[in-house]
Amino acid sequence: MVEGEIENVRKKYKGVVSELEGEVKRWEREGGRLEGEVERMKRELDRERETVVSLRSTLTDQANAHITLSTQNNILQSQITSLQSSLQTDSTTLSTLSLSLTRATARIKDLENEAREAESVRRKLHNMVQELKGNIRVFCRVRPVLGLEAGEEAEIRYPDWRDRREIVVESTSESAMGQERKEVYNFGFDRVFEPSSTQEEVFEEISQLAQSCTDGYNVCIFAYGQTGSGKSFTMEGGGVRLSLSSLSRGRTDADYALQTAGMIPRAVQQVFRVTDELKSKGWEYKMEGQFLEIYNETINDLLGKHEFDKKKHEIKHDPKTLRTSITDTQSHALTSPSQVTSLLLLAQSRRSVAATLMNERSSRSHSVFMLRISGRNEVSGERCEGSLNLVDLAGSERLVGSGVAGDKERLRETQSINKSLSALGDVIGALGEKGDKGDKHHIPYRNSKLTYLLQNSLSGNSKTLMVLNLSPLAAHLNESLTSLRFATKVNNTTIGTAKKGRLTS
Ligand SMILES: Nc1ncnc2c1ncn2[C@@H]1O[C@H](COP(=O)(O)OP(=O)(O)OP(=O)(O)O)[C@@H](O)[C@H]1O
Ligand SMILES: [Mg+2]
């Protein structure tokens, strides 16, 4: 029994023991797992430590960077502040400036207005001076350099850009000692036209004068200058000769002819326009034209039927009406401006037929286009007679050299030209000296056909304009200076104030 009990107890404890042993094994396993866990945690801890260390260093770096940035920030802030303050200053300056700009603009406007007013006063005074000076005006026109002449220009300057009344010519010569000597010559005229001036610009200055023939004045415009200086271009135009040979070539030539139309066609056109306008005021006008040539002191009718240099034509002046007539010449009733172009062409062709082989007749003779205008006003009973004479003078060059002496015909031409041009100078000079002696003073009109024909245009009852044409070339400088001196003499001449030829019936 005890044994059984012991057995039972043994069995019981054996179970407890094995239970405890199982428990111990479980705890051992748990211990192992926990040890592993501890191991892993340790490793993790190490890693975390490393992270902390690296983070700390990053933090230090960042802190440093922050310090740098904030320093920079401070600097930038202060820069911004200073920029803002200078901006402020600038904007103040700007508003001050814009204020003064506004003021300056207003001042400029005022000054411009003042200048405009001064200009109109100046013009009025200029006109008054012209009136006082009398009725002879002188313009000077320098033609452009033509194609092949490039590089051969003389030294010519136009310093007076505002009034355009001065021309300065410079010449360089060598002294006996071989030194270069420069001479400067100044001339002043009523208007100087540079080579770039157009026919339109020249006419603009002439139009008032040309138009005054419709008010009953005798107007005379003549072109003076050496051969090739542009007299015929100025008076007739650039397209007359051109259209003679190539009328059918088309628009370009026609455009050129129109653009370069000279003073004769433009003046005639203007006279037609003005007389047309005056119709509404009761005026009726009649116009007739003549085109004459003076060659070797002989008058020829450029529009007539006679052979040149054969028929003797005489000049007659009517002292009452101041009308000039020439015997046996044809007057053409002018009814339209286009008619004038065909008359110019007719004169050209007749002249070229008569031209000698030696030289061009047109440059060795004077041509005079005469337009007579008579008007009557049925309403007021007024009448008026005026004339417009446009003269293309023969080449004014002094002819030198043995070639001339050997050629009798040429010598005669030269003598005639010199005679008539110097007679023109004398007449103008005498008119200038007239002074108190009035009309009683002797004016040598009869010394040449030209001055005799132009008598009425050069006397006190007329308005006269001389256009001095100049070549721009250095080779022509001496001739240009001679022309400039002649024109200056003309310019200093006073011809009494013009009187209208208007008569009351
Ligand atoms: N203002 C100008 N513009 C362009 N060409 C011009 C001008 N003036 C003159 N010419 C040209 O110069 C040349 C000479 O001119 P023009 O025949 O008119 O001279 P001129 O003084 O009449 O000479 P001449 O005494 O020999 O008759 C021509 O070929 C002409 O077309
Ligand atoms: Mg000519």
pLDDT in tens, 218-257: 888 989 999 899 999 999 998 765 544 444 455 567 788 8
Higher pLDDT, 256 or 69: 69
**227 known member of a binding site:** yes
Q: Is 144 in the pocket of ligand 1 (CB under 6 A)?
A: yes
Minimum CA distance residue for ligand 1 atom 27: 363
**Which atom of ligand 1 lies at the shortest distance from residue 199's CA?**
1
**396 known member of a binding site:** no
Cα(94)–Cα(200) distance, rounded to whole angstroms?
A: 48
In this model, does residue 483 exceed pLDDT 60? yes
**Alpha-carbon torsion (454, 455, 461, 466), positive or negative:** positive
Q: Which two tokens stand for residue 25?
A: 């094994």
Task: Say what the pLDDT of residue 126 is.
Answer: 61
Minimum CA distance residue for ligand 1 atom 11: 230
Q: Which two tokens stand for residue 350?
A: 């007749």
Task: Say what the pLDDT of residue 66 is.
Answer: 95
**329 known member of a binding site:** no
Between 31-35, 113-117, 275-279, 437-441, the lowest mean confidence (pLDDT) is in 437-441
Q: What is the DSSP letter of 358?
A: S
Query: Which 3-state string (H, E, C) describes 460-488?
Result: CCEEEEEEEEECCEHHHHHHHHHHHHHHH
Task: Say what the pLDDT of residue 402 is.
Answer: 40
Higher pLDDT, 24 or 500: 24
Nearest Cα to 497, choosing from 123, 139, 133?
133
Read off the pLDDT of each residue in 307-323 and give the average, rounded to a whole number. 85
Q: Is 259 in the pocket of ligand 1 (CB under 6 A)?
A: no
Nearest Cα to 467, choosing from 192, 163, 217?
192
Q: How confident is the model at residue 504 (pLDDT cuts 50, 70, 90)?
A: very low
Give the DSSP H/E element, type plus range, for residue 382: strand 382-392
**What percent of the chain is predicted at pLDDT more than 90?**
48
**Which atom of ligand 1 lies at the shortest distance from residue 141's CA?**
1
**Which atom of ligand 1 lies at the shortest distance from residue 395's CA?**
25
In this model, does residue 41 exceed pLDDT 60? yes
Q: Report the Cα–Cα distance between both ends of the chain, in Å, rounded.
A: 195
Q: How confident is the model at residue 113 (pLDDT cuts 50, 70, 90)?
A: confident
Q: What is the four-CA torsion angle of 11, 12, 18, 20, rounded to 10 degrees?
A: -160
Q: Is 359 in the pocket of ligand 1 (CB under 6 A)?
A: no
Q: pLDDT tens digits, residue range 355-367?
A: 654 457 778 899 9
Q: Is 200 in the pocket of ligand 1 (CB under 6 A)?
A: no
Average confidence score pLDDT of the chain: 85
Query: Which runs of E-coded beta strand occur in 258-381?
Result: 283-295, 298-301, 315-318, 323-326, 332-333, 366-377
Residue linked to tokens 């003679």: 244
Q: Where are the chain's structural domains?
A: 1-133, 199-504
Task: Say what the pLDDT of residue 122 is.
Answer: 67
Note the ligand closest to the C-alpha atom of 149.
1
* Phi/psi of residue 212, nearest 5 degrees: -65, -10
Q: Which two tokens stand for residue 340?
A: 């004038």
Minimum CA distance residue for ligand 1 atom 1: 143
Task: Say what the pLDDT of residue 178 is.
Answer: 83
Q: Which two tokens stand for residue 290?
A: 């003549």
- Alpha carbon of 302 to ligand 2 centroid (Å): 15
Q: pLDDT tens digits, residue range 186-223?
A: 999 999 999 999 999 999 999 888 888 888 888 889 89
Q: Is 493 in the pocket of ligand 1 (CB under 6 A)?
A: no
Q: Which two tokens stand for residue 465?
A: 């304009």
Q: Is 237 in the pocket of ligand 1 (CB under 6 A)?
A: no
Cα(393)–Cα(264) distance, rounded to whole angstroms?
A: 14
Higher pLDDT, 345 or 103: 103
In this model, does residue 305 exceed pLDDT 90? no
Cα(45)–Cα(158) distance, rounded to whole angstroms?
A: 102
**Is-contact 229 471, C-beta < 8 A?**
yes
**232 known member of a binding site:** yes
Minimum CA distance residue for ligand 1 atom 13: 228
Highest mean pLDDT pick, 98-112, 208-222, 327-341: 98-112
Higher pLDDT, 476 or 308: 476
Rounded to a whole number of angstroms, the CA Rg of the chain reads 52
Nearest Cα to 456, choosing from 292, 315, 272, 290?
315
Q: How confident is the model at residue 459 (pLDDT cuts 50, 70, 90)?
A: confident
Higher pLDDT, 310 or 76: 76
Higher pLDDT, 27 or 130: 27
Burial of 371 from C-beta contacts in 10 A (0-12 / 13-18 / 19+) = buried
Q: Is 232 in the pocket of ligand 1 (CB under 6 A)?
A: yes
Query: Which of 196, 222, 233, when mutated, tests ligand 1's pocket best, judged by the most ligand atoms within 8 Å of its CB?
Result: 233
CA angle, residues 180, 181, 187, in degrees to nearest 5: 145
- Alpha carbon of 223 to ligand 1 centroid (Å): 11
Q: Is 362 in the pocket of ligand 1 (CB under 6 A)?
A: yes
Q: pLDDT tens digits, residue range 336-346?
A: 888 888 888 88
**Is-contact 307 351, C-beta < 8 A?**
no
Strands 462-470 and 136-142: parallel
CATH number of 199-504: 3.40.850.10
Q: What is the DSSP letter of 350?
A: H
Task: Say what the pLDDT of residue 48 is.
Answer: 95
SS3 content of the chain, % helix, strand, coil (to 5): 55, 20, 25
Q: Is 367 in the pocket of ligand 1 (CB under 6 A)?
A: no
Read off the pLDDT of each residue in 164-173 and give the average, rounded to a whole number. 92
Read off the pLDDT of each residue in 22-44 and give the average, rounded to a whole number. 94
3-state secondary structure of 140: strand
Count the alpha carbons within 13 Å of 201 in the hemisphere toward its beta carbon: 12
Q: Is 365 in the pocket of ligand 1 (CB under 6 A)?
A: no
Task: Say which amino acid occupies 137.
Answer: R
Q: How confident is the model at residue 436 (pLDDT cuts 50, 70, 90)?
A: very low
Nearest Cα to 264, choosing from 196, 209, 204, 341?
341
**Is-contact 137 457, C-beta < 8 A?**
no
In this model, does residue 8 exceed pLDDT 50? yes
Q: pLDDT tens digits, residue range 368-396?
A: 999 999 999 888 888 888 889 999 999 88
DSSP-assigned letters across all residues of 165-196: -EEEEEEEEE-TTS-EEEEEEEEE-SEEE-TT
In this model, does residue 425 exceed pLDDT 90? no
In this model, does residue 44 exceed pLDDT 80? yes
Task: Say what the pLDDT of residue 369 is.
Answer: 93
